[in-house]
Structure 1
């Protein structure tokens, strides 16, 4: 019997090892469990038992995260994605669901509010909370960025799945101690939830420094337009106007909406105008039925030219 075959036989099924190490975690031995997850997971991979490795690492990531072991859970989550790459698993809905399940286990903990900054104990509590928040944000980001990279390589859209971009944007914004709206915007515009993006922007506008609100809104719209996504740019602006009016953020913030909206409307009118011109030319020269009649001045000009 070859050494490789002996190794494959000696390695127990994934579910058996999952139950075994779960007990170690329940005993509070998180470090010991982590070493077992990593070493046994590596053995499944070296034996080309990739499906079992995925089951094993997914379970480990979820269990560690459920117990508040963010660093350990994030490490196993990244190993899960690396196994997808090594096993050359194609991107599909089932694997996306597995990524979502791990993502949902990352904790969301609010930073303590109303602390006395002159009190040493409160300052220590705040410092620890901010450090923990940074760890959560970095761990989840590493996992989801790796997932995006894998998905692009193995069959997803060239920008990556919008669902993963939405997850990453939401977690960075809600959990990171520092609101980096450039990073948040980068992922939201590649997602498919402009209304949630609008909520994040309105929330940001209520707590940012003067001048940052205008920049954040303008950047969001321009990033959508750079991707050719005029629809979601419009949805974003409409939703932000609704939320600002309801929450009464203030006249100065609302003025920034009006400024960007004007630019957006101009671009939209230009696009509509050129579409109408193309329709008119197609009808006049190629007999193609126009999708809709051209109203206004340019329609009248074409009528005069054609002698109608």
Structure 2
């Protein structure tokens, strides 16, 4: 006599599961609740009840983060995004609002100030470690969300709103501030005015000589994406904010270059563009990435094909060879032999 296969228990409505798991968290059983969130949401997803799986994960991520359980909360937040992908949920304002609600639950804790004693130093190290964990967790969540948004209906670079969220959190919470990363996400966002406010705040506390580099990096990143409009908005807003907050707007040669560059790109003026690069070469060379960005700008605005670095290297070699050849045939042959031996 064959034994009947046991039936899987019918899954209850998501509301009942959410209430049960919320009680576990409120009782302080964070780890136990975490394992339940993961296993139960997977069962709902396997049963093709993706909407309920998403509700459970969203609730768990928000509550764990609210309780300060950043690692647990961010893990559920990432699984929430993975479930969006598996369910092929299209990008829209409702889902974006759900992601924003999780984002706003990530703790924002100022680092302790004016510490000097050994105990205080230990406290500071612990605070720095916790801040680094918060930033890494939030980045993992938002990067996953950006990737989902790019795949399922947002801009090809991902949702501009999500890029702004990531830029804001990295800037405000990172114990080791990386303005290049902040700028990378702001220029893929949709809020140059907020970016300008952030830059002015940075100018008020950065080392001397970093302020004009930060402005130039932002402007050139916008331009390398073909976004002349927001590059101009950013420059105007930074100047306005600087006056309002009584920060000195930098007056370096690099800023002068940008002031000439922006109007140049509004017209068909490749010779002038090249002349600016030549005349301000020493200022541009302060950051190696600027030349690469300017090559991208030349290609976008003037159709100038970027030179392959290897072609440039071998071109320089053969220029040298020809010069030697003009001086001495024997020396030329020896040089060729050395180059290709």
1:242 pairs with 2:240 = yes
Structure 2 residue aligned with 1:18: 18
1:199 pairs with 2:208 = no
What SS does the aligned partner of 1:48 have? coil
In the alignment, the residues of structure 2 paired with residue 214 and residue 132 of structure 1 have an alpha-carbon distance, to the nearest angstrom, of 31
TM alignment of 1:1-150, pairs within 5 A: 6-7=7-8, 9-116=9-116, 119-150=117-148
In the alignment, the residues of structure 2 paired with residue 85 and residue 24 of structure 1 have an alpha-carbon distance, to the nearest angstrom, of 28
In the alignment, the residues of structure 2 paired with residue 3 and residue 178 of structure 1 have an alpha-carbon distance, to the nearest angstrom, of 57
Could you tell me how far 1:207 is from its partner in structure 2?
2.2
Kindly provide the CA deviation profile for residues 237-264 of structure 1, in whole angstroms up to 9, marking residues without a partner as x.
Answer: 111001112223236x244544422322
Q: Root-mean-square deviation (CA), in Å? A: 1.8
1:218 pairs with 2:241 = no
In the alignment, the residues of structure 2 paired with residue 141 and residue 148 of structure 1 have an alpha-carbon distance, to the nearest angstrom, of 10
- TM-score if structure 1 supplies the norm length? 0.82
Kindly provide the CA deviation profile for residues 178-222 of structure 1, in whole angstroms up to 9, marking residues without a partner as x.
Answer: 111111111100111111111111122222233322221111101
Structure 1 residue aligned with 2:313: none
Kindly provide the CA deviation profile for residues 87-143 of structure 1, in whole angstroms up to 9, marking residues without a partner as x.
Answer: 111111111111111111111111111222xx0111111111111111111111101
- TM-score if structure 2 supplies the norm length? 0.74
Q: 1:3 to 1:37 in 2, by over 3 A?
A: farther
In the alignment, the residues of structure 2 paired with residue 264 and residue 131 of structure 1 have an alpha-carbon distance, to the nearest angstrom, of 41
What SS does the aligned partner of 1:200 have? helix
Kindly provide the CA deviation profile for residues 30-89 of structure 1, in whole angstroms up to 9, marking residues without a partner as x.
Answer: 111111111111111222211110000000000001101111100000000000011111
What SS does the aligned partner of 2:12 have? coil
Unaligned runs of 5+ residues in structure 1 are 272-308
What SS does the aligned partner of 2:265 have? helix
In the alignment, the residues of structure 1 paired with residue 58 and residue 256 of structure 2 have an alpha-carbon distance, to the nearest angstrom, of 47
Structure 1 residue aligned with 2:161: 163
Which of residues 223, 227, 230 in structure 1 aligns to 2:228?
230
In the alignment, the residues of structure 1 paired with residue 33 and residue 114 of structure 2 have an alpha-carbon distance, to the nearest angstrom, of 37
What SS does the aligned partner of 1:244 have? helix
Structure 1 residue aligned with 2:151: 153
Query: Is residue 244–residue 254 contact of structure 1 (8 Å, CA) maintained in 2?
Result: no
What SS does the aligned partner of 1:10 have? coil
